[in-house]
Amino acid sequence: MFLLVGLGNPGSGYIRNRHNVGFMAADEIVRRHALGSFRDKFHGELSDGQIDGHKVRVLKPLTFMNESGRAVQAAMTFFKVNPKHVIVLHDELDLVGGKVRIKRGGGHAGHNGLRSIHAHVGPDYGRVRIGIGHPGDKDRVVSHVLKDFSKQEDIWLDKVLCAIADHMGILIDGDDGLFQTKVAQNVNPNIKNDINKGTE
């Protein structure tokens, strides 16, 4: 079984924030694959079903970002999920808007949600890093991530969310490179097949 975790902050004031793109991706995965309705469980909202023959559960922690690890740990413990079968979807400042990269293990790069997950379950899980761009000044980071996506960003945002959901089965199968390529091609149909050799 796989646990897919979308990161974000609960509450109507955060729904369209850049920091909540993990929640948006989780919602699109559930919608696209006709998974079960979200229900309250494990300090969050939980959905379940199947993606390409794999049993999956989708979790949106409602603990606020910096306590996300509590919800992830509770679900992992209950369902006895191996960290290697956990995939976390989150916003990434160090990628330009619309770019998606996969990372397995390693550090949390200062992301508060990942920092909390590291503290509760360790680093050995997968991440779908969804680029939201950097404001260029570290003093503007907080305001940047807690602002809504702009209308210009919406042009690529919907494509990215749909692509992530459409190709999630490939990622669950473990083909990170093909997943990245498929997502990139959905966002930009003219992109070459060797996108993974390019720079971030």
Q: Catalytic residue positions?
A: 19
- With tokens 């509590």, the residue in question is 70
**Interatomic CA distance for residues 79 and 147, integer angstroms:** 35
Alpha carbon distance, N-terminus to C-terminus of the chain: 31
Best CA proximity match to 30, nearest among 56, 66, 62: 56
Q: Under a CB-based contact definition with an 8 Å cutoff, are residues 49 and 33 in contact? A: yes
- How far is residue 108 CA from its own chain's centroid? 14
β-strand 86-92 against 126-131: which pairing, if any? parallel
Q: Which DSSP letter does residue 12 get?
A: G
